[in-house]
Amino acid sequence: MDDPSEAYGPNRQREVYASGMLADQRPEMPVSPDELEEAAMEALSEEARAYVAGSAGGEDTADRNREAFRHWRIVPRMLRDVADRDLSVTVCGQEFSVPVLLAPIGVQSIIHKEGELASARAADSLGVPFVSSSAASATMEEVADQLDDAPGWFQLYPSADPDVTESFVRRAEEAGYEAIVITLDTPTMGWRERDVANAYLPFLDGEGVANYLSDPAFRDSLDAPPEEDEQAALWRFIEQFGDLSMDWETVERVQATTDLPVLLKGILHPEDAREAVRRGVDGVVVSNHGGRQVDGAISAVEALPGVVKAVEGTLSAAEAQSAADAQSASDAGDTTNGESDDEFAVLFDSGIRRGADAIKALALGADAVLLGRPYVYGLAIDGEEGVREVVRNFLADFDLTMALSGRDAASELDSSVLVRPDE
By the rule CB under 6 A, 133 interacts with ligand FNR:
yes
Of the candidate spans 1-9, 198-206, 284-292, 330-338, the one that interacts with ligand FNR by CB under 6 A turns out to be 284-292
265 touching ligand FNR, by CB under 6 A: yes
Report strand pairing: 73-74 vs 418-419. antiparallel
161 makes contact with ligand FNR (CB under 6 A): no
Of the candidate residues 44, 87, 105, 184, the single one contacting ligand FNR (CB under 6 A): 105
Q: What is the C-alpha separation between 293 and 389, in angstroms, rounded?
A: 29
Q: Per rule CB under 6 A, is residue 49 in the interface with ligand FNR? A: no
Residue type, 6: E
Kindly tell me which residue out of 287, 314, 393, 405 binds ligand FNR, with binding defined by CB under 6 A.
Answer: 287
348 to 132, 148, 301: CA distances (angstroms): 16, 25, 8
Choose between 181 and 402: whose C-beta lies nearer to ligand FNR. Answer: 181
Residues 53-92 that bind ligand FNR (CB under 6 A): none
Q: How many CB atoms lie within 10 A of CB 244?
A: 7
- What distance in Å separates the CA atoms of residue 234 and residue 244, rounded to the nearest whole number? 19
> Residue 289 interacts with ligand FNR (CB under 6 A)?
yes
Smallest gap from Cβ 257 to ligand FNR, in A, equals 19
Q: What residues are paired with 86 via a beta bridge?
A: 409
What are φ and ψ of residue 168, in 5° steps?
-60, -45
**Binding pattern to ligand FNR, positions 195-224, x when CB under 6 A?**
------------------------------
Q: By CB under 6 A, is residue 352 in contact with ligand FNR?
A: yes
- 104 near ligand FNR, rule: CB under 6 A: yes
**Contact region for ligand FNR (CB under 6 A) — 67-75, 142-150, 172-180, 347-355?**
347-355
Is 183 an interacting residue with respect to ligand FNR (CB under 6 A)?
yes
Question: Is 112 among the residues that bind ligand FNR (CB under 6 A)?
Answer: no
CA distance 284 to 347: 6
**165 CB-near residues (< 8 Å, 6+ apart):** 156, 158, 159, 250, 253, 254
Q: Which of 249, 253, 286 is CA-nearest to residue 168?
A: 253
**Distance from the first to the final alpha carbon of the chain:** 44
Binding residues for ligand FNR (CB under 6 A): 51-52, 103-106, 133, 135, 155, 183, 265, 287, 289-290, 349-352, 372-373
